[in-house]
Amino acid sequence: MKNDAQYTNHSGKAAAFVQDEARTDWHDGALWFVRYKRDIQIKKVPEWETMRELASQIKANVLANLDKYLIQFEENALKNGVQVHWAKDAREHNEIVLNILKNKGVKKLVKSKSMLTEECHLNPFLIENGIEVVDTDLGERIVQLRDEAPSHIVLPAIHLKKEDVGATFHKYLGSEEGAKDPKYLTEVARGHLREKFLAADAALTGVNFAVAETGGITVCTNEGNADLGAHLAPVHIASMGMEKLIPRQSDLGLFLRLLARNATGQPITSFSSHFFKPNVGQELHFVIVDNGRSEQLGRADFRKSLYCIRCGACMNTCPVYRRSGGHSYGYTVPGPIGSILSPGVDLKKYSSLPFASTLCGSCSDVCPVKIDIHHQLYKWRQIIAQENELPLSKKISMKVTGFLFSHPSLYRFAGKTARTMLPLMPRFLVYNKLNAWGIHREVPVAPKQSFREWYIEQQKKGANKE
Amino acid sequence: MKVGFFVPCYIDQFYPQVAVATLQLLEKLGCEVCYPLNQTCCGQPMANSGCEKDSIKTAGLFVENFKEFDYIVGPAPSCVGFVREHYDILEQTPDVVHVRTHIFDIAEFLIDILKIKKLDARFPHKVGLHTSCHGQRGMRMAQSSEINGPAFSKQKQLLEMVDGLELIDLDRTDECCGFGGTFSVFEEAVSAKMGRDRVADHERHGAEVITGGDTSCLMHLEGTIRRQNKNIKVIHLVEILNGTTLS
């Protein structure tokens, strides 16, 4: 067993999560409600499935020509007066950002949501270097105050109830004790964040889409926090994974419609902000980050994982995610999409994640860009086994099972033995720590005859009659 | 038409009544059915755990057992789907290709090949249909709720031919039951929780019986129900189609 903290043990963390069954039900219900809202919205669009197919093909085209689109994007951005930076990994990204901030003497940075900067662990790096970093997305601010990682890429604080938020704000922002009214709590956050926006000397945003033919980027938020930050501060840095490109401005409508409807069941996000050039007197920087994406692009079976537009719908729909929580995955992007991205980053560390699925396939059917997520989970499992990263118990039991099933008489003998023994065994011998099945479930009642035995008996009876 | 009868390992050993019902139903419908005696398993348990290599011999044995038949039919979308989708682990000889393209789940076979329009069965009970994920999203035997397209379900179509049967609606039409093969053991806590939730959905809507096409899901749900001492029966779809009664 891998209990070492450097490995993510999904099943262990999930078991701890499920232990509080009422809270698990609440978490499951909250996310299912988002899935339900999504279903209503997508069913209002008759061309939905055509849109998915089209978006999937556009992303295939982008990845097949990524080098050309990236150069085109950079050329156009430079023409617009944007400063463009290339980062091969997280460390380079963080240093680029720090250098920009240092050059401008920045002490206070406000950020809108960016999973990429979570992936690069930018916040702790900047804080170590003396920069005040404030996440301005409400959910992200809540988890930042609590010193937690987001548990969902679209709904970072979905693991918390309003009572938890009230307690957090009371502790860090001095709000009333025991407050749980969402409107009051939002007002508290709003007041707190306004001060931060006004005091900031730089803003960092993520990027939802980067358009190659214009050199512009689009940032989607529901709170307007990206705009507030980017328009008030003299420096705007936008960090983007290099797969965020789309070829044409005319492709953007398709992706914006897919993203909002699929992510939260909204026809469109409240704010879709388009940044093309720096405001007068402002600097605008784009940081384009690889951080393992080239490697993933080189893996034919897993290339499609880079189509992802980060809508989070695979998390909302995943019956395992809903009942284990985002933190059980131990990776920046949790849930099904995270479970096919993370093994490419560190196979050993994340070897339990492709197994945190029943392979039900709901993630693949909900995906707005048709990533075959559950097939990729299956394929990662094969690689993990080949690379010897399976728990020993699983490895041995699969070898034995494989041997049994390729030797018919042995299989029959084992089956008969089990069926004969089970009814004779006292309960404590069947139901104990060694039988994970039996912790919450009964084992099947063993019949006297297998089907094969019955079939042979019938054939004999038939032959005797003749 | 020579039909090779595929009985998945756990049905053979623990749920023989499902196989008996399938055999009887096929024979009633005029099929010439043969059960190859040397069959074991399709190989899915090992492959889903990452050990495709440990499945190769089992898969080879499967093809040997079934290559001679016009059709291969089994009461298990999950296993049938595995043969169709994952027997690319074998060299694609004409025999392997034949088996992969001529294997059907019983519900598909009744609707798509035999094209039956009526059944001689009566089951006057409130029934919840648990659609297995592999049958639905793998084999496309029913529309999945994520997709914006016309609703259909081959299993539902068959149940509608049963006299007196009342199909109940569920809050979550196609939520996974949580079995997931070795997931049920290695992720025991979440698996069991999913099972309890699936049973509760049926219970809320007054199901007397939960039915479905995949015995693996049903085994999981039945194990959950028995542990909870609930008064819901679990019966495979094909048993209902073959005219079983609640005893």
Question: 3-class SS at B234?
Answer: strand
The answer as to whether B235 is a domain residue is: yes
Question: 3-class SS at A217?
Answer: strand
Q: Quote the tokens at residue A413.
A: 């003998």
CB A258 within 8 A of CB A52: yes
Closest Cα in chain A to B55: A402
Residue written as tokens 């997305």?
A137
Q: How many CB atoms are closer than 10 A to CB A432? A: 10
Question: Mean of the per-residue pLDDT values for chain A?
Answer: 95
Per cent of chain A over pLDDT 90 is: 88
What pLDDT score was predicted for residue A1? 37
What pLDDT score was predicted for residue B44? 93
Number of H helices, E strands in chain A: 22, 10
Q: Is B1 exposed, middle or buried (0-12, 13-18, 19+ CB in 10 A)?
A: exposed
The answer as to whether B53 is a domain residue is: yes
Q: Does residue B131 have a pLDDT over 90?
A: yes
Question: 3-class SS at A194?
Answer: helix
The answer as to whether B197 is a domain residue is: yes
* Phi, then psi, of A204 in degrees rounded to 5: -120, 135
What's the rounded Cα separation, in Å, for the pair B178 and A420? 28
Closest Cα in chain A to B219: A444
Interface of B with A in 156-175 (CB under 8 A): 172, 174-175
What's the rounded Cα separation, in Å, for the pair B204 and B197? 10
Same domain, B7 and B101: yes
What's the rounded Cα separation, in Å, for the pair B113 and B28? 15
Same domain, B15 and B43: yes
Same domain, B130 and B236: yes
Domain boundary among B113, B134, B167: B113
What's the rounded Cα separation, in Å, for the pair A232 and A52? 37
What's the rounded Cα separation, in Å, for the pair A97 and A101? 6
What pLDDT score was predicted for residue A426? 84
What pLDDT score was predicted for residue A135? 97
What pLDDT score was predicted for residue A466? 62
More confident residue, A421 or B52: B52
Q: Does residue A3 have a pLDDT over 70?
A: no
Q: Does residue B237 have a pLDDT over 50?
A: yes
Residue A112's nearest CA partner among A264, A223, A217 is A223
HSE of A21, CA atoms in CB hemisphere, 13 A: 6
Same domain, B237 and B154: yes
The answer as to whether B193 is a domain residue is: yes
Smallest Cβ distance to A441: which of B23, B45, B192?
B192
What's the number of domains chain B is made of?
2
The answer as to whether B246 is a domain residue is: no
Closest Cα in chain B to A387: B50
Same domain, B58 and B133: no
Cβ neighbours of residue A377 closer than 8 Å, sequence gap 6 or more: A336, A339, A340, A354, A357, A359
Q: Is A427 exposed, middle or buried (0-12, 13-18, 19+ CB in 10 A)?
A: exposed
The answer to whether B12 contacts A451, with C-beta atoms less than 8 Å apart, is: yes
Residue B141's nearest CA partner among B172, B174, B107, B114 is B107
pLDDT band of residue A312 (cuts 50, 70, 90) is very high
Residues from chain A that touch B51, judged by Cβ atoms under 8 A, are: 382, 385, 390, 395, 398-399, 402
Residues from chain B that touch A456, judged by Cβ atoms under 8 A, are: 37
User: Chain A contact for B16, CB < 8 A?
Assistant: yes
* CATH number of the domain encompassing residue B167: 3.40.50
Question: Mean of the per-residue pLDDT values for chain B?
Answer: 97
Q: What is the pLDDT of residues A102-146, one digit of tens each?
A: 999 999 999 999 999 999 999 999 999 999 999 999 999 999 999
The answer to whether B190 contacts A404, with C-beta atoms less than 8 Å apart, is: no
Same domain, B83 and B186: no
Spell out the alpha helix ranges (H) of A89-224: 90-103, 115-119, 122-128, 138-145, 162-173, 182-199
Smallest Cβ distance to B227: which of A317, A391, A440?
A440
Cβ neighbours of residue A337 closer than 8 Å, sequence gap 6 or more: A305, A308, A314, A315, A363, A371, A373
The answer as to whether B51 is a domain residue is: yes
Q: Does residue A4 have a pLDDT over 60?
A: no
Domain boundary among B89, B113, B137: B113
Strand partners, A202: A109
Q: What is the mean pLDDT of residues A282-298?
A: 97
Q: Does residue A465 have a pLDDT over 80?
A: no
Q: Does residue B88 have a pLDDT over 50?
A: yes
Same domain, B76 and B150: no
* Phi, then psi, of A270 in degrees rounded to 5: -60, -40
Q: What is the mean pLDDT of residues A191-210?
A: 97
Going from the N-terminus, what domains does chain A have, and what CATH number goes with each? 1-19+313-405 (no CATH), 45-294 (3.40.50.10420), 407-465 (no CATH)
The answer to whether A360 contacts B190, with C-beta atoms less than 8 Å apart, is: no
* Phi, then psi, of A43 in degrees rounded to 5: -80, -10
Residue A278 amino acid letter: P
Residue B203's nearest CA partner among B114, B147, B128 is B128
Residue written as tokens 């214009």?
A214
What's the rounded Cα separation, in Å, for the pair A339 and B187? 15
Residue B19's nearest CA partner among B114, B106, B129 is B106
Q: What is the pLDDT of residues A171-192, one digit of tens each?
A: 999 999 999 999 999 999 999 9
Same domain, B147 and B106: no
Same domain, B153 and B198: yes
pLDDT band of residue A5 (cuts 50, 70, 90) is low
Cβ neighbours of residue A465 closer than 8 Å, sequence gap 6 or more: none
The answer as to whether B247 is a domain residue is: no
Strands A271-275 and A216-221: antiparallel
Interface of B with A in 27-66 (CB under 8 A): 35, 37-41, 43, 45-55, 57-58, 60-61
What's the rounded Cα separation, in Å, for the pair A204 and B79? 50
Residue written as tokens 């420096």?
A235
Look at the alpha carbons of A69, A71, A75, A77 in this order and tell me if their dihedral is positive or negative. Answer: positive
The answer as to whether B74 is a domain residue is: yes
Residue A344's nearest CA partner among A307, A387, A300, A293 is A293
What pLDDT score was predicted for residue A434? 80
Q: Does residue A464 have a pLDDT over 90?
A: no
CB A209 within 8 A of CB A218: yes
pTM score of the predicted model = 0.95
What pLDDT score was predicted for residue A2? 39
Q: Which domain covers residue B36, as residue numbers?
A: 2-113
Same domain, B135 and B104: no
Q: What is the mean pLDDT of residues B116-125?
A: 97
User: For chain B, what percentages of helix, strand and coil (3-state, to nearest 5) are there?
Assistant: 50, 15, 40
The answer to whether A451 contacts B7, with C-beta atoms less than 8 Å apart, is: yes
